[in-house]
């Protein structure tokens, strides 16, 4: 016979209050039975399993509404979708706290060196800066709808759709990024931590997986991550983006990215560079393969050769100015070396200055 548990017994089992159980029942997460003889609530072992599940999700920070949705549609893809959502909430909050922490530390250092009148102005400027950075980070949008593109991405790049034919050297760029990222690194392969930003469907990450590197890929598109995971089950993937890299400081020996950096405007690129340097080890390396111009003059010279259709295609993106990137990386004592692949595609390698 299935054992019956009173509300007090269940509360003792899970070390929670009876009010919390009544709250879960009121919200529709648990529906206790009623004893016809005394109208008391009672619970079965099945109820206990459900309550344990609810408590587990609450520990992970899930809302009551999300838990209800998970319990009502308890299949893997739906649960994973909610985990993605929770991961994004937590990463946004960690990024916000990190920005505040760094700003307060910087202000404290400056206050020691300021007189009694100057420090108020510095606080005001810092608050303005925090607000500006938060607006940039929080307002980045995927204008290219990569979720819808995910399942056909590998096919479309092989067809090389578009007037500029930007993917004609796709394989060469991936191979060049891979070779330059691991060249002369004096560590055992399994000790080298690699981060692939904008991992997409995992085509670049595959090269590291095949050699046994410890690689993890991040992308802002959940569908891209799903495709990458289907293709490469051993590839670790996380939801993330250039502006909010979901890892602690000094984590990676190598950071790589292909065909993703041009989705950021100049201000966003500067914040992305700061983020990459933050999670990079002191002696680490960054290698980016993407569509770029060497400088404004060469950009204009190239554009003069293009058709109106090609110019419109260029204006739809934020192709990097390599000289501006070099200036920005110099702020972090980093050296940039460029390697031209074709008219628009470059691979840039960033290391510590010698």
Q: What is the pLDDT of residues 33-76, one digit of tens each?
A: 988 888 788 999 999 999 999 999 999 999 999 999 999 998 88
Q: What is the pLDDT of residue 1?
A: 53
* Closest by CA position to 127, among listed 100, 93, 94: 100
pLDDT tens digit string along 83-114? 999 999 999 999 999 999 999 998 888 888 87
Does 146-352 match 7-72 at the fold level?
no
Q: CATH topology for 7-72?
A: Multidrug-efflux Transporter Regulator; Chain: A; Domain 2 (1.10.1660)
The CA radius of gyration of the chain, in Å to the nearest whole number, is: 26
Could you state, in order of their start, the residue ranges of all structural domains in the chain?
7-72, 76-138, 146-352
Q: Which residue has the higher pLDDT, 141 or 231?
A: 231
- In CATH terms, the fold of domain 146-352 is Rossmann fold (3.40.50)
User: Could you give the C-alpha distances from 168 to 46, 160, 162, 173, in angstroms and in order?
Assistant: 58, 6, 11, 10
User: Counting beta carbons within 10 angstroms of the beta carbon of residue 240, is it exposed (0 to 12), middle (13 to 18) or buried (19 or more)?
Assistant: buried
Please write the tens of the pLDDT for every residue from 245-295.
999 999 999 999 999 999 999 999 999 999 999 999 999 999 999 999 999
User: How high does pLDDT run on average in the chain?
Assistant: 92
Residues 6+ apart with CB under 8 A from 202: 217, 227, 228, 229, 231, 232, 235
Find the mean pLDDT for residues 330-336: 96
Residue 113's pLDDT is 81
Using the Cα atoms of residue 74, residue 78, residue 80 and residue 81 in order, give the sign of their dihedral. Answer: negative
**Cβ neighbours of residue 207 closer than 8 Å, sequence gap 6 or more:** 174, 175, 178
What pLDDT, on a 0 to 100 scale, did the predictor assign at position 71? Answer: 93
Q: With 80 as the cut, is the pLDDT of residue 116 above it? A: no
pLDDT at 314: 83
């Amino acid at each position: 016979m299935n054992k019956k548990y009173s509300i007090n017994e269940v509360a003792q089992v899970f070390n929670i209050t009876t009010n919390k159980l009544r709250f879960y029942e009121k919200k529709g997460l648990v529906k206790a039975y009623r004893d016809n003889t005394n109208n008391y609530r009672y619970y079965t072992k099945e109820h206990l399993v459900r309550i344990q599940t609810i408590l587990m999700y609450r520990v992970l920070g899930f809302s009551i509404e999300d838990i209800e949705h998970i319990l009502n549609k308890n299949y893997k893809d739906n649960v994973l979708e909610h985990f993605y959502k929770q991961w994004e909430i937590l990463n946004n909050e960690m990024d916000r706290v990190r920005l505040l922490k760094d700003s307060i530390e910087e202000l404290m250092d400056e206050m020691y060196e300021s007189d009694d009148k100057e420090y108020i102005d510095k606080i005001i400027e810092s608050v303005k800066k925090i607000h500006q950075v938060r607006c940039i980070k929080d307002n980045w949008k995927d204008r290219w709808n990569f979720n819808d593109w995910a399942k056909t991405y590998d096919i479309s790049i092989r067809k090389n759709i578009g007037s500029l034919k930007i993917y004609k050297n796709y394989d060469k760029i991936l191979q060049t990024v891979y070779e330059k990222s691991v060249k002369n690194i004096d560590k055992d392969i399994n000790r080298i931590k690699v981060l692939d930003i904008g991992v997409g469907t995992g085509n670049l990450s595959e090269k590291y997986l095949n050699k046994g590197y410890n690689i993890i890929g991040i992308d802002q598109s959940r569908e891209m991550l799903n495709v990458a995971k289907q293709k490469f089950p051993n590839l670790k993937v996380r939801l993330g983006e250039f502006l909010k890299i979901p890892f602690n400081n000094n984590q990676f020996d190598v950071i790589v990215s292909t065909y993703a950096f041009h989705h950021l405007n100049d201000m966003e690129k500067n914040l992305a560079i700061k983020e990459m340097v933050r999670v990079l080890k002191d002696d680490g390396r960054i290698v980016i393969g993407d569509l770029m111009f060497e400088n404004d003059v060469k950009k204009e010279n190239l554009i003069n050769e293009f058709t109106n259709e090609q110019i419109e295609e260029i204006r739809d993106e934020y192709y990097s100015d390599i000289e501006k990137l070099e200036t920005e990386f110099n702020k972090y004592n980093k050296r940039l070396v460029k390697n031209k692949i074709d008219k628009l595609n470059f691979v840039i390698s960033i290391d510590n200055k010698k």
